[in-house]
Amino acid sequence: MKKHFTKSISQDLFFRMVGFGIGMGIIFPFFTYFLLDIPTHKVFSPLFFSLCIAAGIAVGLCNYYLFKMVVDIYLKRIQSKLTAFRQNLENIFWKDGNDFDPEKYYLEVDSADTIGAITQEYNIFMTTFYRLLKAERKTANFLERLQQKVKMKAMAETIVEVFKEYFGADGGCLYSLESGRLRQINNCHLMIDNEALDQDYCYDIIKRGEMVVFEDIDNLPVRFNIGIGSLKPNAIAYMPLIYQSRPVGLCILSTNKKFKANFFSLESRNLINQAAPFLHNSILMKKLEVLAAVDELTCLLNRRYGMKRLNEEYERAKRHQLPLAVTMIDIDNFKQLNDTYGHQAGDEILKEFSGIIVEEIRVTEFALRYGGEEFMIVIPGASAINCHRVIERLRRKVESLHVQFQQHKLNVTFSAGIAVYPGENITDQTQLVNATDIALYQAKNRGKNQIVIYSSTSAPATLKSQPNTQ
């Protein structure tokens, strides 16, 4: 890069133009002598030389002031706009992005040369800045909304809502990737045939971490839910959510027209990437909740979380006037088995026993380790007879079980007490649990390895309500 004569380009231009004028003034006498054939004494006289040099300087000065009147004024307009933009930059960033109007800083392009090109680029810069500012504002608002969500369901709803608005989608859904399988956690106006949805294909998209967009599509397991029917989408996008190179989920968006934003732009990728950490944290929180709710040895619900579930089921049964069957189970002679064969043998029995319980109960039912060798099974909507059938099937299966421990085959049986809400002397959750205890106690006294259904006639003492501390 050439060095300037001075620290100012404008001053450099002044000296160059004046110097060019002086040079032309010096050359002009020789030009007139050779081409115009003017006598030597007139051409090379001091007066003529002085007039030529003075004329050159005048031309140089005129050129410089023409520059100041045309180009410099135009440059000052750009400077004025940039100065105003710089002074407002802090407010633009810290206030609502809608306060920034790019047209306020635009310059009129009225020159078809380099200056006009510079002006055009300046206007493009302002437009680009406005677009980036809007994207940054949307991302900041998106993060703020996500930070306010604690539950996975609310967080997923926010993600789909923001993605739909940003990309101009008509419908969307969000899947979390848990234990290698996709689980739908939110759906907004999409009718998805999950059986027809190719899990392997979706997992491959997530694994590659590349967005896939289809337009003018047919034969996809997706339709719009429009309230009075369904419509096939015109375009669909698969957006994998990746956190620290770890796939955590997949968002699917559909539109009946065209998406209004480019999925592959920097702003779009930045917005999409903001969702991944929150989904990842929600999955971790869910796993922690499961770990906190599960008994480590038996993999059944622990007492604290199990009694919370029982309270929820009790309130639901009470609200909808539905039956609720509860069974208290106690492994027979468990202390004797522990004392004879050791606690490791007892642990093996508990694990085998709980495994059979898991195999026998349905999705709507649940079991918990109540304490030690005691278990509770809760069957919503079941009568005492229906509950007895389930527990009797379980009793026979356990009775035929032989737990292998070292060189010993240990036989296991259990006793159980069943109580059902609503019933005689059972008007709350505490009375329901107490009734199962009484029925279990009767089963033990009658010889063990049997099931007793609670009845008020077989329990002369009236059940007293106790405050629920769970």
Q: Provide the pLDDT for residue 113.
A: 63
Assess whether 347 and 422 both reside in one domain. Answer: yes
Query: Total domain count for the chain?
Result: 3
pLDDT digits (tens, 9 = 90+) for 23-80: 777 777 777 777 776 777 776 778 777 887 888 788 878 877 777 777 777 777 777 7
Q: Which amino acid is at 306?
A: G
With respect to residue 469, please indicate whether it lies within any of the assigned structural domains.
no
Assess whether 428 and 318 both reside in one domain. Answer: yes
pLDDT higher than threshold 60 for residue 470: no
Calculate what percentage of the chain has a pLDDT beyond 70. 83
Per-residue CA distances from 200 to 157, 180, 182, 189 (Å): 25, 10, 10, 24
Q: Of 277, 275, 265, nearest to 167 (Cα)?
A: 265
Assess whether 164 and 89 both reside in one domain. Answer: no
pLDDT digits (tens, 9 = 90+) for 108-137: 766 666 667 777 787 888 787 777 777 777
Per-residue CA distances from 28 to 24, 32, 41, 218, 242 (Å): 6, 6, 15, 81, 76
Among 21-30, 161-170, 228-237, which is the least confidently predicted range? Answer: 228-237
Contacts with 223 (C-beta within 8 Å, 6 or more apart), sequence order = 190, 191, 230, 231, 232, 233
With respect to residue 144, please indicate whether it lies within any of the assigned structural domains.
no
Alpha carbons within 13 angstroms on the beta-carbon side of residue 53 total 10
Q: Provide the pLDDT for residue 464.
A: 37
Angle between helices 266-293 and 114-147 (to 10 degrees): 10
pLDDT higher than threshold 60 for residue 2: no
Assess whether 288 and 312 both reside in one domain. Answer: no
Contacts with 463 (C-beta within 8 Å, 6 or more apart), sequence order = 425, 426, 431, 434, 435, 438
Q: What is the CATH number of the domain that holds 253?
A: 3.30.450.40
Q: Which among 239, 273, 292 is the end of a domain?
A: 292
With respect to residue 29, please indicate whether it lies within any of the assigned structural domains.
yes
Among 95-99, 196-200, 287-291, which is the least confidently predicted range? Answer: 95-99
Q: What 3-state class would DSSP assign to 227?
A: coil
Query: Which of the four pLDDT bands, split at 50, 70 and 90, describes residue 441?
Result: very high
Which one-letter DSSP state was computed for residue 263? T
Alpha carbons within 13 angstroms on the beta-carbon side of residue 106 total 13
| Average pLDDT value for residue range 344-353 | 91
pLDDT higher than threshold 90 for residue 13: no
| Average pLDDT value for residue range 297-313 | 91
Note whether 183 and 286 are within 8 A (CB): no
Q: Provide the pLDDT for residue 115.
A: 67
Rounded CA separation 194/192 (Å): 6
Q: What is the mean pLDDT of the chain?
A: 80
Rounded CA separation 382/219 (Å): 43
With respect to residue 3, please indicate whether it lies within any of the assigned structural domains.
no
pLDDT higher than threshold 60 for residue 346: yes
Phi, psi values for residue 333, rounded to 5°: 55, 30
Assess whether 235 and 371 both reside in one domain. Answer: no
H-helix or E-strand spanning residue 335: helix 334-341
Per-residue CA distances from 214 to 218, 234, 249, 262 (Å): 10, 8, 19, 13
pLDDT digits (tens, 9 = 90+) for 65-101: 777 777 777 777 777 777 777 666 656 654 554 566 7
With respect to residue 83, please indicate whether it lies within any of the assigned structural domains.
yes
Query: Which of the four pLDDT bands, split at 50, 70 and 90, describes residue 227?
Result: very low
Q: Of 202, 209, 150, 147, nearest to 174 (Cα)?
A: 202
More confident residue, 302 or 233: 302
Rounded CA separation 359/110 (Å): 81
Cα torsion through 250, 255, 258, 262, rounded to 10: -20
Rounded CA separation 72/123 (Å): 19
Hunting for tokens 């306010």 — which residue is that? 148
Assess whether 159 and 189 both reside in one domain. Answer: yes
pLDDT higher than threshold 70 for residue 465: no
Rounded CA separation 333/412 (Å): 9
Q: Provide the pLDDT for residue 10.
A: 66
> What are the DSSP calls for 106-121, one per residue?
------SSHHHHHHHH
Strands 235-243 and 212-215: what pairing?
A: antiparallel
With respect to residue 370, please indicate whether it lies within any of the assigned structural domains.
yes
Q: Provide the pLDDT for residue 5.
A: 60
Cα torsion through 136, 137, 141, 146, rounded to 10: -10
pLDDT higher than threshold 60 for residue 222: no
Query: Which of the four pLDDT bands, split at 50, 70 and 90, describes residue 469?
Result: very low
Among 26-30, 46-50, 216-220, 460-464, which is the least confidently predicted range? Answer: 460-464
| Average pLDDT value for residue range 445-470 | 64
Assess whether 286 and 380 both reside in one domain. Answer: no
Assess whether 447 and 329 both reside in one domain. Answer: yes
Using only the alpha carbons of the chain, give its radius of gyration: 42
Query: Which of the four pLDDT bands, split at 50, 70 and 90, describes residue 226?
Result: very low
Query: Which of the four pLDDT bands, split at 50, 70 and 90, describes residue 417?
Result: very high
Query: Which of the four pLDDT bands, split at 50, 70 and 90, describes residue 462?
Result: very low
pLDDT higher than threshold 60 for residue 442: yes
Which one-letter DSSP state was computed for residue 197? S
396 token code pair = 């026979």
With respect to residue 166, please indicate whether it lies within any of the assigned structural domains.
yes
- Domain around 124: 9-130
| Average pLDDT value for residue range 438-456 | 91
pTM higher than 0.75: no
Assess whether 281 and 191 both reside in one domain. Answer: yes
Q: Provide the pLDDT for residue 444.
A: 92
Cβ atoms < 10 Å from Cβ of 214: 14
With respect to residue 283, please indicate whether it lies within any of the assigned structural domains.
yes
More confident residue, 10 or 438: 438
269 token code pair = 């990728």
Assess whether 369 and 287 both reside in one domain. Answer: no
Q: What is the CATH number of the domain that holds 400?
A: 3.30.70.270
Q: Provide the pLDDT for residue 433.
A: 93
Assess whether 286 and 374 both reside in one domain. Answer: no
453 token code pair = 């259904």
Task: Give the chain's length.
Answer: 470
Assess whether 330 and 275 both reside in one domain. Answer: no
